[in-house]
Amino acid sequence: MSLVMFSLTYHPLQIAAVVIFSTCVAWLVVYHLTPQLKFIWYCFFRPIGERDSQQKARLDRFYEGQADVYDATRRGLLRGRKTMLNLSAGHLKQLRAQCPGKRLVWVDVGGGTGHNIELMDEFFAISNFDAVYLVDLCEPLLQVARKRFSKRGWSNVTILCQDASNFVLPEWSETNDAKGSVGFVTLSYSLSMIPSYYTLLDRIDHVLDPHYGLLGVVDFYTSGKQSSLHEKAIGGESKECGWLSRWFWQIWFDFDNVSLGPARRSYLEYRFGTIKSYNGRNRFVLPFIVRIPYYIWLGRPRSADISRNLHAFEVDGGNTVGNCSPVNPFVTKETEIIPPLELGEACIHNGDAAGNGRPGEIVINVTPPLSSFHYHINKPWRLPYYQQPVHKEFRTFIYSFTWEDPAVDMKYLKLSVADSMFVITSAGDNALHYAIASSPRRIHCVDMNPCQGHLLELKLACIQSITYEDFFSLFGHGRHLNFRQLLDTQIAPHLSSSAYQFWRINSEAFSSSFYLNGYSGWALRLAKFVFGLAGVSEDVERICNCKTLEDQVEIWHKKLRPVLLNPVVVSLLKNPVFCWNALGVPLNQRRMFLSEGTMYRYVRDTLDPLISTYLLKNDNYFYHMALLGRYSPSSCPTFLTRAGFEKLKANEGQELEAFRLHTDSIVNVLHGLPSWSLTRAIIMDHLDWFSPGSKDVDDEVAEFARVLSRGGMVFWRSAGRLPWYNEVFERRGFKVVPLGVRRGSEEALDRVNMYASFWKAIKM
C-alpha cells in the first residue's frame, strides 16, 4: 500500500520521462552489446556444423550471422596480428633492399574480411605490392572484404574464394609457372582451421620465392611440457604449456573444428626456417584466468641465403656448431670434405665425437640444420646455441653496463686489424670500444648468460638500424617511449629469434630507466634510496656536474662519503646475498678481497682516490651513470658518442662484422677454436669466481695456452692483490706480468678502481 501511495505522488509526465529514459538506456546497451551477443551466440552456443559436412558449408553457416561484427569482436581475442604484420613489414623492407625491382606478390591465406590487408597498409603501403590476393573459403566474410576494398579503391587487390590448400592465382594461368612466384604469404589465425595443413604448407613452400620469400603466421597453439632439440635450437621462451592449459584449450577449440594440437606448428617449423618466434598468452576477458596460448612466427624457405649458412656458424675456424660444445649436434653423416680455405671463411674442424672430420679438414653440413640462426636477413652476429637448463637460470642480465675501464685496456692490448680477440660479453660496452679504437678482425664475445648476449645483440642491431638520437635515448638516457615500435619495425630484422623474444617480453625496460634493470640495477636502486633517505640527492646531482676537482672533493667529503661509508651501508655491502644479487660478486671473490682487509677499507680505497683524480662530469662515465642512473653526452662510453656510433655504422656496419656472440662457458668455446687462432683475450675478473685449486681453472688456462698464438696475451683483473691462479698460468708456460696493484687509497688504478690488481700473461 505504501509503495502504491509513493508512486502516485509522481506526475504522469515524470513517469513517462523515466520510462523513455530507461528505454533509451536499454536500447543503447543492447545496441552496443549486439556484436558481443552475436559473438557469444555463434561461438559458444550455436555449433559450427557436422564434422562430416564440407568445410565450406560449415564455415558459411558459422559466419553468416556474424560476418558484419567479425572484426569488432575479434580485436581482443585474436592477439598478435598487428605485431606479426609490423614485424613482416620490417623484414620485407630489408628483403626488398636486397632485390630492388623484383616483383612482389602477397597472398593472405584465410584472410576473411580483409582486416589484415587494411592493417598492413599502415606499416607497408599496399601500393608497394604488385599484386595482393586474399584467399578464403568463407563467402560471408569475403563479402565484408569486398566492401572494404571497394571503399579503399585498391586496384591491385584480388579476392579469391578458394580452398587454401590448393589455391591458384589468376596470373599463373598466363605464365603457367607458380614456383617461386610469391614474395609474401600470411596465415592469420587460419592455419589451425585448415584440415589439410600438410598440403597447404607444402604448396606455400613451392610458390614462395626461394631466396627472398617471407612467411608470417599468428595463431593459437598448444605444446608439450618439454621442448624438443629443434625447439631449443630455434629459441622460443614460454612455449611450454601446462597439462591443464594444453588439454583444456585443445578440447575447447575442437568443438568448433579448430585444431590447437602441436602438429601444425611443428610441421611449419620443420618445413621453413625460423626468423622470429614469439610465444604469448592472450589474457582475454579474465586476465588472470583465461590465458590462451598464441604465437607469432616469421620464416623463410630453407633454401634462402644458403650461402650465408657457413657465415652463421663460422668461428674463426672453430667448430661448426659455433657455440663450441665439443660434440656438434648439427653435424651429421651427410658431410663433405673440401680443400682448406682462408681462416675464417669456413669451419676448420678438429674432429668431433661422432668421428666427422679429421683435424685440419673443413667439414660442412650439407643438410641445413633446423635452426633460426641460418635465416638472419642481415648480419648473423649471434652464433647458434641450444637452450639448456642452465640458461633458464638466468631470468635477465646481471650487468646492464660494463664495469671495467677499456681505456686502460687499450694501453696494454696494442691491438691491430690483424688481431682476433676473446672477451667476456658482459654488457658489450668494452667490446664495442675495442672495435671503434682498433678494428680487430674478430671479436669473440662469450657469456653463459644468454641475456647478456641479448643485450649486446640489441646494441649491434640498433647501431645497424636506427638513428644516433634514438640510440642515445635508449642507452644514454636509458629511456625511449617508442621502443616497441622501433623493435618491431626497424631493429627486429637484425636480431636472432631468441633476442627478439627477450626484448619483446622486456620492452618495458626502456620505459623509465634502463640501467635500473638487471641485477646490477638493484645496486643503483639501493644507492638512490640511501641518498634520498640521507637527504643528499641534490648533492649527488651537484657532484656529477662539478667543473673542478676541488668542488667535487668538497662535496664528497662533506656530503656523500659519510653516507656511503656509514656502518649500516658497509654491512649491507658485505652481505653475501647482496654481493651476488646486486653487485654480481660471487662468494669466492668476496672471500678473496675480505681476506686482505675489511669491507670498509675496500670501499674507502676504491672511492677516495677516484673522486680526487677524475672529474665525474666529463672524465668518469662509470660513476656518473652509477650515481644518476644515466649517461650524458659529455660523460659516456665511446660507443655512445656520435663519432663512435658513426664509425660502427659506416659502410653498412662493416665494423660490426667482427663480432661473434657465443652463449656457452668459456672452456667450451675455447674447445671449439683451433690452435693458435687467438692473439688477445680479456677475461675480466672471471677467474675470481673459482675456489683455489679448481680443476676448471687449470682446464681453462690449458685451453688458452692451446688457442693463443705465440706472443698472444691474456688480461684479467682481480679483487685480490695477488690472485692464487697466477701460478696456474705460469705452470702452463705463460709469463705473468702485473700491470697495476692497489697500494692503498692514494692512487686509482683506473676510472673504476674496483679491482685490487690488473695482470697480463704472455704465451712464450
How much of the chain, in percent, has pLDDT values that exceed 70?
Answer: 75
pLDDT at 29 exceeding the cut of 50: no
Q: What share of the chain is helix, strand, coil (3-state, %, to 5)?
A: 50, 15, 40
Claim to verify: residue 317 and residue 233 sit in the same structural domain: no
Q: What is the CA angle 491-494-495, rounded to 5? A: 90
C-beta of residue 610 within 8 angstroms of C-beta of residue 627? no
Question: In sequence order, what are the residues at sequence separation of 6 or more whose Cβ sits closer than 8 angstroms to the Cβ of residue 644?
Answer: 432, 433, 436, 637, 638
Output the CA–CA distances (angstroms, integers) from residue 105 to 132, 133, 154, 510, 592, in the order listed: 6, 8, 14, 37, 64
Claim to verify: residue 293 and residue 403 sit in the same structural domain: no
Q: What is the CA angle 175-179-185, rounded to 5? A: 110
Return d(Cα 398, Cα 390) in angstroms, integer. Answer: 15
The mean pLDDT value of the chain amounts to 80
Q: Domain boundary residue among 277, 301, 325?
A: 301
Domain-embedded: residue 16: yes
Return the minimum-mean-pLDDT range out of 669-683, 726-740, 743-757. Answer: 743-757
Give the per-residue pLDDT at 22: 59
pLDDT at 109 exceeding the cut of 50: yes
Claim to verify: residue 92 and residue 139 sit in the same structural domain: yes
Claim to verify: residue 339 and residue 408 sit in the same structural domain: no
Q: Give the residue-averaged pLDDT of 265-283.
A: 88
Structural domain of 371: 305-375
Claim to verify: residue 574 and residue 444 sit in the same structural domain: no
Domain-embedded: residue 474: no
Residue 647 in grid coordinates: 664509425
The alpha helices in 135-196, defined as continuous H runs, are 139-152, 172-175
Domain-embedded: residue 483: no
Of the segments 34-38, 240-244, 705-709, which one has the largest average pLDDT value?
Answer: 705-709
C-beta of residue 316 within 8 angstroms of C-beta of residue 264? no
Choice between 636 and 228, residue whose per-residue pLDDT is larger: 636
Give the per-residue pLDDT at 256: 73
Domain-embedded: residue 572: yes
Give the per-residue pLDDT at 564: 83
Give the per-residue pLDDT at 361: 32
Claim to verify: residue 443 and residue 403 sit in the same structural domain: yes
Return the minimum-mean-pLDDT range out of 66-70, 253-257, 396-400, 662-666. Answer: 66-70
C-beta of residue 349 within 8 angstroms of C-beta of residue 289? no
Claim to verify: residue 533 and residue 619 sit in the same structural domain: yes
Return d(Cα 761, Cα 733) in angstroms, integer. Answer: 9
Give the per-residue pLDDT at 280: 87
SS3 665: coil
Return d(Cα 339, Cα 319) in angstroms, integer. Answer: 16
Domain-embedded: residue 471: no
Q: Domain boundary residue among 279, 301, 323?
A: 301
pLDDT in tens, 506-564: 999 999 889 998 888 888 888 888 889 889 999 999 999 999 999 999 999 999 988 88
Domain-embedded: residue 469: no
Claim to verify: residue 341 and residue 354 sit in the same structural domain: yes
Domain-embedded: residue 711: yes
What does 385-429 look like in DSSP terms, one character per residue?
----HHHHT--S-S-SS--S-HHHHHHHH---TT-EEEEE-TTSH
Q: Where residue 658 sits, what CATH number does that domain have? A: 3.40.50.150
Return d(Cα 759, Cα 739) in angstroms, integer. Answer: 5
Give the per-residue pLDDT at 289: 61
Choice between 336 and 468, residue whose per-residue pLDDT is larger: 468
Claim to verify: residue 323 and residue 229 sit in the same structural domain: no
For the chain, what is the domain count?
Answer: 5
Q: Give the residue-averaged pLDDT of 666-678.
A: 93
C-beta of residue 396 within 8 angstroms of C-beta of residue 518? yes
Q: Domain boundary residue among 317, 340, 375?
A: 375
Q: What is the DSSP letter of 100?
A: T
Of the segments 66-75, 253-262, 402-411, which one has the largest average pLDDT value?
Answer: 402-411
Domain-embedded: residue 721: yes
